[in-house]
Structure 1
Amino acid sequence: MIQFRAVLTAFASLAAIGASAALPPATAVAAPAKAPDWNRRIVATPEGGWLIGNPAAPVKLIEYASYTCPHCAHFMAEGMPIVRRDYIATGKVSLEFRQFALNPIDLTEGMLVRCTATPAAAVALGEKMFADQQAILDRAPDEATGERLSATPPAQLHTALAQAMKLDEWATKNGLPAPRVKACLADLSLRDRIVAIRGKAIESYDIQGTPSFVLNGKALEKTFNWQALEPQLKAAVAGK
């Protein structure tokens, strides 16, 4: 004879198993969306520059700079790390770098920067130029060499200047294939693009020297270093 208590116990165990099996699977908790790394977002702009950061940032900063300008190199070393860390990284500020060429060396360096495969590579090579600026300029042609180079036909000028300053060797050491360096230095369309950026800067903002900054469409007066730029940038962010 089956004992009634044993049946009840067995039934209760089966019911518990059935109830457990009938429970819906646990809902997976979605991981929080990862914030964009705006410092890694670099694109070429129609104006010929490279924009770093959130393209929809409410505060838009443009820097006009020359690769041979010591004040530009100083800003790159002193101010740029703070701009990247405290402003671009938040998504509230974007920075567009535009070259403002001052001389044939500038043009030659800019042509090499435009040899790179991506906007991010262009920005990285430009920053390396600023870091190595003094060593590069230490190899600038003397007066006699400069006169000889001035007689060089335009199509060969930048190749000859790069060879005289060993800029072609510097470029290959910093990742540009030698055949590409040779081709880019002979490509006068790259030079013409840089010259056009300078002309547009003068026309649009009356830029006369470097570094110069444009903040939300307005050229900043007497702003040539990080100490002068920072309070204006901070105020612009606070106002948004």
Structure 2
Amino acid sequence: MKLNFLTDSRIKTALLSPVFVGMSAALLLGACGDKGAKAANVAVDGRTTYETATDHAMGSITAPITVVEYASLTCPHCATWSLSVFPEFQKKFIDTGKVRYVFREFPTPPVDLARAGHLLTNCAPEEKYFDLLHAQFRQQESIRTSSDIKGEFIKLAKSAGMSEADFDACMVNQEELDKLQAVIIGGANAGVTGTPMFFINGEISSNTFTIEQFDKAFAKALGEPIPEPSEKSDETEKSGH
């Protein structure tokens, strides 16, 4: 899908910029984590060991676990996790100080549509980032099938206090294009092959999607006993799609 309000030449230029090259390396290190510091989710300058300067995060910086999610606004499984699992994930792990949660963009087909959505969230005020992200997941299908996709995005932009002019400027903002492309390359180099994909304290966590699966993964990361399966275990589809 080609969206005429996105200037692809700007995006190609972004790949060649010095800023992009430097940020790609930094984001790769952030995604993989520090192999020598797995036991400590150390907070430095308001961020944990596994975060980068451009990350969007929620939760305590002193949490023992940092979860980095790579996801796409056009990925149905990502929307399912965001709408069906994340509310409980936030209540059980983030709000209790157990987990620091980081979201990183990894656009999937239709890539132009995903890219536009992620650019919008990144251009919005920081305090609106996650609200706008989840709003797009809720409206994923209606945006994809709309006869006026730009109009749908402008409505979302206005809900975050942005104008149509702000949206238009965002779509060709070279700095934001550089940042987004750097996150994509950093994720690919770190081993991201599908979405949603989760890293727990710098390590890829395969087959992690449900709350019960996260419970087990967190126990393993902290060297604690693995919880027994719950009778209410939900066989929700796994990640990597």
How large is the Cα RMSD of the aligned pairs? 2.7
Asked whether 1:87 is paired with 2:93, we answer yes
- Using the aligned pairs only, state the percent identity: 24
Deviation per residue, 1:115-160 (Å, 9 max, x gap): 1122x2111111111111111111279xxxxxxxxxxxxxxxxxxx
Structure 1 or 2, whichever has the larger Rg, is 1
- Aligned pair count reads 176
User: Per the alignment, do residues 130 and 43 of structure 1 end up closer, same or farther by CA in structure 2, a change over 3 Å counting?
Assistant: farther
Gap change, CA 1:48 and 1:223, over 3 Å in 2 = same
Q: 2:200 aligns with which of 212, 215, 236?
A: 215
Do residues 61 (structure 1) and 67 (structure 2) align? yes
Task: Say if 1:69 and 1:210, in contact at 8 Å, map to a contact too.
Answer: yes
* Stretches of structure 1 lacking an aligned partner (at least 5 in a row): 1-41, 142-161
> Does the CA-based 8 Å contact 1:99-1:110 persist in structure 2?
yes
Q: Quick one: which amino acid aligns to residue 106 of structure 2?
A: F
Under a length normalisation based on structure 2, what TM-score does the superposition of the two structures give? 0.65
Q: Which has the higher helix share?
A: 1
Q: What's the secondary structure of 1:79's corresponding residue?
A: helix
Distance in 1 (alpha carbons) for counterparts of 2:173 and 2:129: 17
Aligned to 1:127: 134
SS at match of 1:67: coil
Does the 8 A contact of 1:57 with 1:92 survive in 2? yes
Q: Return the offset for 1:66.
A: 0.3
Could you tell which deviates more after superposition, 178-187 or 230-239?
230-239
**Which contiguous aligned blocks of 4+ residues in structure 1 show a shift greater than 6 angstroms?**
none
TM-superposition CA deviations, 1:191-238 (whole Å, max 9, x none): 22111101111212x101100000111101233555644432355468
Q: How far apart, in 1, do the equivalents of 2:107 and 2:152 lie?
A: 20
**TM-score computed with the length of structure 1 as normaliser:** 0.65
Output the CA distance in 2 between the equivalents of 1:66 and 1:190. Answer: 16
Quickly say closer, same or farther: Cα 1:237–1:90, change in 2 above 3 A. Answer: farther
Counterpart in 2 of 1:33?
Answer: none
Shift of 1:72: 0.5
What letter matches 1:98 in structure 2?
A: R
Structure 2 gap ranges (5+): 1-45, 226-241
- 1:171 matched to 2:157? The reply is yes
Name the structure 1 match of 2:82: 76
Check 1:138–1:227 CA distance in 2 against 1; reply closer, same or farther (3 A cut). farther
Shift of 1:171: 2.2
Code of the residue aligned with 2:118 in structure 1: it is: G
Paired residue for 1:104? 112
Higher mean C-alpha deviation, range 171-180 or range 48-57? 171-180
